[in-house]
Structure 1
Amino acid sequence: MAVVGDFEPTEAKAWVQKYFGGIPAVAQPPKPDLTEPRQEKEQRFTKDDKLATKPALAFAYHMPERNTPSITPSSCSTRFCCRAKTPASTRLWCRSAASPTT
C-alpha cells in the first residue's frame, strides 16, 4: 500500500489500521514457471515496412537461469551491447555500413 499526500504519519497509520486492518492477509500466489522449451533450430521472422530506408536485423538468445553463476557473463554482455553510451551494436552497424561485405 502506498499513502501519498500532505498528512501526519501517525495519523495516516491510524487511518490505514482503521480502514484496512480488518482485512486478513492472503498467501502469496506461487511463482509462475517462466522456463521456455529448448530451441532446437533457428527461427526467422520477416516484417516488411514500406517506410523503412534500411533493413533491420535482430538477434535473440535464450538467457541462462536467473540467480545462477551462468547469468553474469550474459548480463555483462547485454549491458555492454545495449546500454552503453556508444553501444557495441552501434559500432558494429557503423562498421558494416562502411563495408557492405562485412
Structure 2
Amino acid sequence: MTEEEVVTRLKQAAAAKKAADERAKELTKEAGDAFEIVVVEALTGGMKPAKVATLTGYSYETIRRIARAKNLDRLREPTVTSRKKAQSGGDSPA
C-alpha cells in the first residue's frame, strides 16, 4: 500500500469516527430528554420521588435535580419539623 493510500484511509477512518461520535452524542441527548420527560410525568402524576428513583435505578438526588430543573413544586409535603423551622426562622434546638 502506498503512503497516499494510507493517508486516504486514515482520513476516511477519522471522518467516520467523528461522524459516529456526533451521532452517539445526539442519541445520548435524545435519550436523556426522553428520560426527563417520563420522570416529570411520573412525579406530576403523584408518584413519590423515592419510588421513581428505585424504579429507574437513579439516585433520589438525580430525580430531585430533574424536578427542580423543570420547575416542579415541592416533591413532598413539608414535615412537622421543617414547618416549625420555617415558622421560627431558624434551626430548632436539638
TM-score scaled by structure 1? Answer: 0.19
Question: Per chain length, whose mean CA-contact separation is higher, i.e. which structure has more relative contact order (CA < 8 Å, sep 6+)?
Answer: 2
More helix by share: 2
